[in-house]
Chain A
Amino acid sequence: MTKSTSIVLSARAFERTVTRMADEIVERNDGIEGLVIVGIQRRGVQIAERIAARIESSEGSRVPLGALDITLYRDDLQTVGPRPVVGKTVLPVPLDGKHVVIVDDVLFTGRTIRAALDELADFGRPARVGLAVLIDRGGRELPIQPDVVGTKVDPPPGSRVDVLVQELDGKDEVVLTSGGAS
């Protein structure tokens, strides 16, 4: 089988999608009171920054923005071989009583979000935790659901979904690669 790639989101569509996600987050929270946006390392962090920037321009004030590195909470550390690189975790405010929205680039098995929920619990007791993802590609292995979804894709098994962001990859784009050696 030959490899084929298709663009799920172009740069323009990427921007529109993030804008809509930001608006939906504010709508679901009925404003920005108590809202904390937390991006998951790595590309969730950049998407979270965009969402926070959009909220600032539409609502006129800044929401607290954090970053979560879930490496130390992974459930596969005993089998992955060489230790994965640990990134930075920064939570700017205490989470007790807040409405925390976790932001990630791709939701797949749900294991990353499971780890993120465990890690958040070590920082306090939020009133509510929500989940916003740019891409939901199905394939859940745990009972985890997103609240806000940018785009849903249903790729054939063995496919890859790559989210590229300007800050790290030089452009905003979401690419689906199917077939070929998986």
Chain B
Amino acid sequence: MSSPLGKDLLGLEQLTAEQINLVLDTAVPLKEISERTIKKVPTLRGATIVNLFFEASTRTRISFEFAEKRMSADTVNVASTGSSVSKGETLVDTARNLEAMRIDMVVIRHPASGAARFLAERIESNVINAGDGTHEHPTQGLLDLLTLRDHFGTLKGKKICLCGDVLHSRVARSNIWGLAKLGADVAVCGPRSLLPNAIEEMGVTVFDRIEAAIEWADALNVLRLQLERMQAGYIPSLREYNRVFGVTRERLDRAPRDVLILHPGPMNRGVEIDSDVADGPHSVILNQVTNGVAVRMAVLYLLSGNTPQLAEAAKGSA
């Protein structure tokens, strides 16, 4: 007995196109719940979810929390500061202690790539990866896919370019896997110092010039440029980055078609994206935020009830 997604959501790399579409198709009707006066359905009543955040996050944590509350789950937030984590407790000990208090799911954000899988293999609860190091951020990937699918109807043959710091971006990795599985043409564009070596082997096209990417693309997913990258010497300066790789109104005006603009946030206005683009008519950045809650509700719903004990109970009653 298994849910169509399995026990955990660790990344989009392991999912099939069918599983990805199931999440997106489930998210669509769930959007309506957030429009109600009473924004809540009783589906996860009695389930306890721990949001285990070992890294700063506002948007993702809040989005997960809204999703959990709108499905009526009980939630507990654990941040690395101010918890036993800061006293040197290991990840597994923290999780096992939480599990001993009878929880059903863990949403984990961690600076180490692979942390979510490590945890998933060691505890019985469902594990949802909310971003692990530079590896994957599957729910962000899914909400980007939903936003694109809402707009284009299908992703098949659509040209999507990820712009900026692909090297450090778990959002980029989840996007590349997900987009490719749904049949989109994927490209990346950024300074070579911020692109992984041999990224072409993932089946993506590389553009060295943002103008060329804009000319090619139906949509740009503009990644956040982590400001620390400048100190680390990946780029000479933010001003220069904006001058060479910034997504500006002027550049978009020269495109042969309207280019849809996505950004996972938080934005550095005037660095990777200009304000008049971010707030412009082709920006779907706020749709992404709205879709984020629905996609996370869909993931919670699809993973829930998939614990071994429940499967046993179901067998007993059949």
Contacts and interface: CB of A to CB of B under 8 A. Distances in A.
B310 A78 contact: yes
A83 B42 contact: no
A79 interface: yes
A7 interface: no
Given A72-B42, A122-B41, A82 B4 contact: yes
Interface in A109-151: 118-119, 122-124
Contact of B26 (A78, A85, A123): A85
Contacts of A79: 305, 310, 313-314, 317
Contacts of A85: 25-26
A97 interface: no
A123 B40 CA distance: 10
A27 B2 CA distance: 50
Contact of A72 (B1, B3, B43, B305): B43
B241 interface: no
A81 B37 contact: no
A13 interface: no
A73 interface: yes
Given A79-B314, A123-B36, A118 B42 contact: yes
B42 A81 contact: no
Contact of B29 (A69, A78, A123, A124): A69
A161 B217 CA distance: 52
A119 B32 CA distance: 13
Contacts of A69: 29
A88 interface: yes
**Most central of B29, B37, B302 by chain A CB within 10 Å:** B29
B305 A77 contact: yes
**Most central of A77, A86, A88, A119 by chain B CB within 10 Å:** A86
**Most central of A77, A79, A83, A89 by chain B CB within 10 Å:** A83
A80 interface: yes
A90 interface: yes
A73 B41 contact: yes
A81 B311 contact: yes
Interface in A6-29: none
Nearest to A115: B42
A87 interface: yes
A86 B32 CA distance: 12
Contacts of A88: 28-29, 32
Contacts of B29: 69, 86-89
Given A83-B301, A87-B29, A88-B29, A122 B310 contact: no
Given A83-B3, A88-B32, A90-B32, A78 B305 contact: yes
B304 interface: yes
A77 B310 CA distance: 10
Nearest to A86: B29
A114 to B, nearest CB: 12
Interface in B30-83: 30, 32-33, 36-38, 40-43, 71
Given A81-B311, A83-B305, A85-B26, A73 B4 contact: no
A83 B41 contact: no
B301 A86 contact: yes
A142 B304 CA distance: 26
Nearest to A118: B42
Nearest to B27: A86
Nearest to A75: B42
A80 B36 contact: no
**Most central of B2, B26, B33, B305 by chain A CB within 10 Å:** B305
Contacts of B30: 86
Interface of A: 69, 72-73, 77-83, 85-90, 118-119, 122-124
16 contacts: A69-B29, A72-B33, A73-B42, A77-B305, A79-B310, A81-B314, A82-B3, A83-B3, A83-B4, A83-B304, A86-B30, A88-B29, A89-B29, A122-B38, A122-B41, A123-B37
The 6 closest A-B pairs by CB, nearest first: A72-B41, A122-B38, A72-B43, A79-B314, A86-B29, A88-B29
Interface of B: 1-4, 25-26, 28-30, 32-33, 36-38, 40-43, 71, 301-302, 304-305, 310-311, 313-314, 317
